Amino acid sequence: MSTTKKSTVARAKGFKKSRPGTYLAIGTSLFGAVANIRRARTARGESDTLKLVDAVVSAAAVATGIALLVRELRRMNDDDILTD
C-alpha cells in the first residue's frame, strides 16, 4: 500500500511541473484575479480605502504569479526537443 501512495504522490508532483499542470495553475490564478476585481469594485463602491489597497496588492501578487507561470511555460517550450 505504501508503494501505491508514493507513486500517487510522485505523479502529483510530476503533474505540477507538467505543461497541463502549469495551464491549470494559470487558470486558477486567473480565477483569483476575477475575485480581486470584484473586491476592488466593492471597495470603491463603499469608498473603503483600506479594502481597495488590499485588493490592489492582492492583484499585484496574482499578476506576479501568472508572470512566473508563463515564464515557466516558455521554458518548457524551449526545452522541448521536438521544436528544434
Residue 2: what pLDDT? Answer: 53
* Sign of the four-CA dihedral 55, 60, 64, 70: positive
Residue 84: what pLDDT? Answer: 46
The verdict on pTM exceeding 0.95 is: no
Residue 38: what pLDDT? Answer: 93
For residue range 28-74, list pLDDT tens digits in order: 888 888 999 999 999 999 999 999 999 999 999 999 999 998 998 88
Element (DSSP H or E) covering residue 11 = helix 2-16
Higher pLDDT, 4 or 25: 25
- Residue 57: all three cell numbers together: 496588492
Show me where the domains of the chain are located: 2-78
